[in-house]
Chains A and B, each alone.
Chain A
Amino acid sequence: MTKSKTTRRAALQTLAGAASMPLWARFADAQSAEPIKIGFQVHRTGIGAAYGRWYDRTTQAAVKLINEGGGINGRPVEIVAEDDGTDPKRGAEVIEKFANLHNCDVGFGTLFSHVVIGSSPRAGELKLPYFVVSEGHHVASGALNRYTLQPGITDVKSQVQAMAPYVADNLGKKVTMIFPDFAFGHDHRDFFTAAIEAQGGEVLEQIAIPPVETSFTKYFPNIPRDTEVLYHVMVGPAVLTFVKELGEFFGPSRPEVFGFIDSLEAVDMTSSGLEFLEGTYFWEGNPRYAQTDQSEHDKFYRAAVGVDANGASISDPADVSTYAHMFGCWETLHIIKAGMEAAGYQSAADRAKLVEAVEAMGEMPESQAHPQGAKLFNGKTHQVFGHQYISRVENGKLVKVHTTSIEDTLYPDEVDYTTQPL
């Protein structure tokens, strides 16, 4: 893949090119020359905008590739991007626009959970297949509906529980958790506490930090002395301060430290203040740094999106991507393509067939369409399961030290969406 601009305009250019030689022939067999319209619910403004920029860039790269490969069922793909403002009410409006105004075939791409939760009911009512890329457990929990699917990214419940075996076997069994004191932190607390206990470990202390806190040193004396592993999931503007103060508190003698890369997604690991993290461990949804055993698919995917071996934009080494998450857009678009092809999708009348086709998907081997790794889709819970990665910070880079099995990430079904009418 050459260095090329994969913006929306470039994707549209490919689309426009489909009407002229030589690309037109790729779409010539289609019964309809109309493009497949994918409504992209993108966080352009609001708190999700930083993620939205990379979700957009990944989406454009995937659509460009799909169109260069002949589109879907011989029809070009067109992305209709609407900003949801990272707001659930606006999100629901955007879903209505996709279905009623833009005549989109599907909705796609939502990241933030509260927007998914706000938008999903409307997608269900309008019978618009809604492919979210949110990582939330809300899909598999049964709270949504049959038209909402998460086939391109794993959920946080499976991610957290899959960490416990490695932590218990390699880092220690006595864990202290530090987390922000609200739903996000509580979910980590609950999921991981149960998972580590299942591994014969224990959580010595759960330290909940008020969300408005910007200085943390006063909480650190609560960390028990016999702590073997410190599990942290701090988020917000004060994360760098948190790490810096943690380093000042422990000095050179610290317990093992394990965190979720969410805390430092899109942050340069060599930033000043992060030196303390050297030798600590992180969950990664997809390894940010190209590893020594990098697959050809990851290599291809990086080049297509325009990301270098350090996970940063090829045009600016300081512009670090949201690499642990954005692959979900790429993979979801390829699943939409596979689903539409399996369903013989022709028009909006086939939306139900598309949902059924995706529900019928099971194993998804690692491939160009799935550069993050192999996956297993659960048609009943509408949630995909896949490998998780644990990386260690070495010389300011995240080096993969463990890949979980897919089995490590599984948990009993909490819903069967296939029993709901289409």
Chain B
Amino acid sequence: MRAFVLKHTIVALWMLSHGAGPALSHASEQGFVLLLPTDIYTNAGVTAVAATVVLLALLPEALSKCLFRPLHLWPISLKRLRFLSCTLSTCLLFWMIWRGLVGDRDPLDNPMPLLFWTVWWVALVSLQGVFGNIWQWIDPLRVPVHLSSWSNPVFRYPASMGYWPAAIGFLLFAGFLLADIAPTDPNRLALVVAFYVLATCFAVMLFGRRWIVRAEFVSVMMRSYGRVGLFGRARGRVSVGLWGWLATTQTAPPLSLAVLFVLLLGTGSFDGLNETFWWINFLGLNPLEFPGRSFVVLPSLIGLLVSNALLIGVFAASLWLGAQISNDRRSLPDLFRAFAPSILPIALGYHIAHYLTTFLVDGQYVLQMVDDPLGRGWHLLDLQDFFVTTGFFNRQSSVQVIWLTQAGAVVLGHIIAVLMAHRIALRDGATSWGAFVGQFPLALFMIAYTFLGLWLLATPRGA
């Protein structure tokens, strides 16, 4: 069997950006990344976050509060328009499912995986976090849910369930993303999405719209990210402020929702970790001949759960330690609830950094698909001479720009997180110095996490 020359099993490995996500493996920038002075960049990024922590201790309290003060723009209410756009979005969803079932089998040609993974999961989640709750305008479930709730619900949604169904739903989704052997298969994905839509409608019939607010993970996740966007509603007006301003004005989320915030980061982190040489080597596999997702289904699921559990534990421990230092009498769950929103910008930074290279490539396939959505030889966008390219991964200069953009997202996410945590502490009555002292362990955690995020971007990947 030694004669089985695994020539190409290896050759393309260094051409990869990241393969664990669906339809994501294209890039060749890894070789160039290893030639970049990423250690210097990493030190600079970590220092920037640490400097933010120190600066906050010195910053006058009033100025700290000012940071997140929004600018109120205009009063606006376009509910009818929203219903129309969501109806169109629902039509698009049904069209995607239909194309997934009967369309081209190639995941980079079929609208189902392209729109679901590249447009929704990669792009829209990022945009939601950056700009605010745009999902409310394009939520494809809004109309089916509206129709499903025409009669009174059979049961009252149990308050004790909180947001736990959404947290579990997100973990199941993450398992599909990270461990399923063919999450981009158009047919398979269409069936999964169709089942989820039907199950959601059924649940809404049983429990009413509260199911969407508390239990449907897509809505809950999107609203969560929407909390940290630039735009939001305050005092009846569209308002704009520094990322996270809206979240700092809101009351602390319930514990189940707070846990979901942390799961977003834990999952994003593992999504990066599971592609590294370190992880593949840890599993006893050769990172230069990664055998395929089917070989690591169980390790991926275990890794996903352990990563999230670890993160929850470390985050809680940081909060507990901070409370001990600053003599904060609040219970640990209350602290967890109060500070969990500050995790969101980190999760968003990870998401953007992790998927940027994917978007650069698969976004081109989306354009090709839009050019000819039904595979009829149309050129709606006049792209007849267009070829998908990964040339930007083949130049040191462009790879450097891409890497620094990714690193910038990670670092900025952490800086916002540090600022948010400080603001939340002030909101809850601490003095500027008190907040600094009380959050010192949390700040250390965030500085360490910056290092982890930048290391994930710089370290060789093999899956």
A235 and B10 within 8 A (CB): yes
A81 and B288 within 8 A (CB): no
Interface of B (DSSP majority class): loop
Q: How far is the CB of B315 from chain A (nearest CB, A)?
A: 30
How many residues belonging to B are interface residues under a CB distance threshold of 8 Å?
75
A263 vs B386: C-alpha distance when bound (angstroms): 28
A236-B390 contact given A49-B16, A187-B2, A187-B3, CB 8 Å threshold: no
A190-219 vs B, Cβ < 8 Å mask (1 yes, 0 no): 100000000000000000000110100000
Indicate if B204 sits at the interface (CB-CB under 8 A). Answer: no
Question: B104-112, B148-156, B322-330: which one contacts chain A?
Answer: B104-112
Indicate if B389 sits at the interface (CB-CB under 8 A). Answer: yes
B387 and A313 within 8 A (CB): yes
B1-18 vs A, Cβ < 8 Å mask (1 yes, 0 no): 111111111111111100
Question: A22-30, A86-94, A366-374: which one contacts chain B?
Answer: A86-94
A263 vs B10: C-alpha distance when bound (angstroms): 9
Q: A134 — which chain B residues lie within 8 A by C-beta?
A: 7-8
Q: B5 — which chain A residues lie within 8 A by C-beta?
A: 113, 135-138, 155-157, 183-184, 187
Indicate if B158 sits at the interface (CB-CB under 8 A). Answer: no
B35 and A240 within 8 A (CB): yes
Indicate if B30 sits at the interface (CB-CB under 8 A). Answer: yes
A422 vs B74: C-alpha distance when bound (angstroms): 76
Q: Pick the contact of A137: B3, B33, B383 (CB < 8 A).
A: B3
Q: Pick the contact of A317: B107, B377, B391 (CB < 8 A).
A: B391
A266 vs B11: C-alpha distance when bound (angstroms): 10
Closest A residue by C-beta to B395: A318
In this complex, the interface size class of chain A, counting residues with CB under 8 Å from chain B, is 35 or more
B34 and A114 within 8 A (CB): no
Q: A42 — which chain B residues lie within 8 A by C-beta?
A: 106
A83-B107 contact given A180-B288, A182-B288, CB 8 Å threshold: yes
B359-388 vs A, Cβ < 8 Å mask (1 yes, 0 no): 000000000100010011100000111111
Q: How far is the CB of A190 from chain B (nearest CB, A)?
A: 8
Indicate if A419 sits at the interface (CB-CB under 8 A). Answer: no
A42 vs B106: C-alpha distance when bound (angstroms): 9
Q: A228 — which chain B residues lie within 8 A by C-beta?
A: none
A252-282 vs B, Cβ < 8 Å mask (1 yes, 0 no): 0000000000110111100111000000000
Q: How far is the CB of B55 from chain A (nearest CB, A)?
A: 36
Indicate if A51 sits at the interface (CB-CB under 8 A). Answer: yes
A236 and B462 within 8 A (CB): yes
Q: How far is the CB of A39 from chain B (nearest CB, A)?
A: 9
Q: 21 pairs across A/B with beta carbons < 8 Å?
A: A9-B372, A16-B377, A45-B25, A45-B184, A47-B19, A47-B463, A49-B26, A50-B390, A83-B182, A113-B7, A114-B9, A187-B2, A211-B288, A214-B460, A266-B15, A271-B396, A306-B387, A312-B391, A315-B386, A316-B389, A320-B391
Contacts A44-B23, A113-B8, A314-B387 known; 14 new A-B pairs at CB < 8 A:
A8-B109, A50-B28, A134-B8, A136-B6, A137-B3, A182-B286, A182-B289, A184-B9, A235-B10, A236-B460, A236-B462, A240-B32, A267-B28, A318-B395
